[in-house]
Amino acid sequence: MQTETPLERLQVLLPDVFNPKPQTGDLYLRFYLSSSLYAAIPLNRIVETLRISATSITPIPNMPAYILGLTGNRSNVFWILDLAQRLALPQTAKRLRHYNIIVVELLGMTQPETKKLWLGFTTQQIQNTLRLQPEELNFEVSNIMPELQPYLQGWFQHQGEKTLLLNIDAIAQADYSDR
């Protein structure tokens, strides 16, 4: 008669849990930038994703239309940008009741060492996370809309769809008086 402990049975049933295979590549969050365009941001730059009410965003007068206003979460106050509008892409709706927000941490833009600077981007829908190998990324952006090129790190194909890899630091440092 063979007696197995519960641990031995689990090791047989779930070998990947006990002997995980190392995964390579970087993680990205993929989302709809506009109705016909996908984009992605490196997951290591994302603080969190939120779904917030439009009333949670405080509008600030005399700001460009793509800056929706300020909001706060976890003791941090940060700007919310309509990312599609900022990048001059077609939009489906002007004002919504709720917004899907991707909150990113801006690097190299903080004053004191202890204070982090966050920025929120609205998106139509958050799709998924995916892991990409460096050879899957295409850094040639000359064949992409010229107005988007300054804000891109590259692009990749996922399930037959072109996905733009955004440079969030370039978006954050852009001249906000131009639109």
Tens of pLDDT, residue by residue over 111-129, are 555 567 899 999 989 999 9
Contacts of 133 (CB under 8 A, 6+ apart): 24, 25
Place of tokens 């090129």: 149
Residue 31: give its domain's CATH number. Answer: 2.40.50.180
The residue that leads in pLDDT, 95 or 119, is 119
Note whether residue 137 is domain-resident.
yes
Q: Would you state the structure tokens that stand for residue 7, as one six-digit string?
A: 């641990």
37-42 sheet: strands from edge to edge: 125-132, 26-34, 37-42, 161-166, 152-158
Note whether residue 63 is domain-resident.
yes
Instruction: State the Cα–Cα distance between residues 170 and 152, nearest whole angstrom.
Output: 8
Question: Which among 107, 105, 95 is positioned nearest to 57, based on CA atoms?
Answer: 95
Tens of pLDDT, residue by residue over 16-43, are 777 777 778 899 999 998 878 899 999 9
Instruction: State the Cα–Cα distance between residues 149 and 151, nearest whole angstrom.
Output: 5
Note whether residue 154 is domain-resident.
yes
Instruction: State the Cα–Cα distance between residues 70 and 117, nearest whole angstrom.
Output: 13
In terms of residue numbers, what domain contains 106? 24-173
Note whether residue 16 is domain-resident.
no
Note whether residue 4 is domain-resident.
no
Note whether residue 179 is domain-resident.
no
In the chain, how many domains are there? 1
Note whether residue 2 is domain-resident.
no
Note whether residue 12 is domain-resident.
no
